[in-house]
Amino acid sequence: MKIGTWLLSLVQPMIAKILIALGLSAVSIVGVTEAIDALRDQLTSSYSSMPANFIGLFQLAGGGTAMGMILGAITTRLMLWQAQKSLQFLGKAQN
C-alpha cells in the first residue's frame, strides 16, 4: 500500500465529519440569524407603535441600550451553544 493512499484513508473520515459539521453550522447560523432578525423587527415595530411620551421616557431610562444588550446576549448564547454542539458532533467535547 502506498503511503499517500494510507494517509488518505486515515484522514478522509475526519474531513467528512468536519465538512458535515461546518454545513450544519452554516445552516444553523443562518436560521439563528433569521430568528434574531425577526425578533428585532418585531421589537422595533412594537416600539414604534408606542406613544411619544412613553418612548421618550423609555429612552431616558436606557431602554434602547437594554434591548441591544438583551438581543446581543441571546445571539451570543445561541452561537456558543451551536459551537459546542458542533464540537460534540466532531467528537472533540465530552459532555
How far, in Å, CA of 6 to CA of 41, rounded?
A: 53
Number of domains in the chain: 1
How many Cβ atoms are within 10 Å of 44's Cβ, its own excluded? 11
- Say what the pLDDT of residue 4 is: 73
- Say what the pLDDT of residue 87 is: 65
How many Cβ atoms are within 10 Å of 53's Cβ, its own excluded? 8
> Where do the H-state alpha helices sit in 49-62?
52-60
In-domain check, residue 23: yes
In-domain check, residue 95: no
Full residue range of the structural domain in which residue 14 is found: 3-90
In-domain check, residue 63: yes
| Residues of the chain predicted below pLDDT 50 | 93-95
Measured over the CA atoms of residue 82, residue 83, residue 88 and residue 90, the dihedral's sign is positive
Q: What secondary structure letter does DSSP report for 49? A: T
- Say what the pLDDT of residue 20 is: 65
In-domain check, residue 85: yes
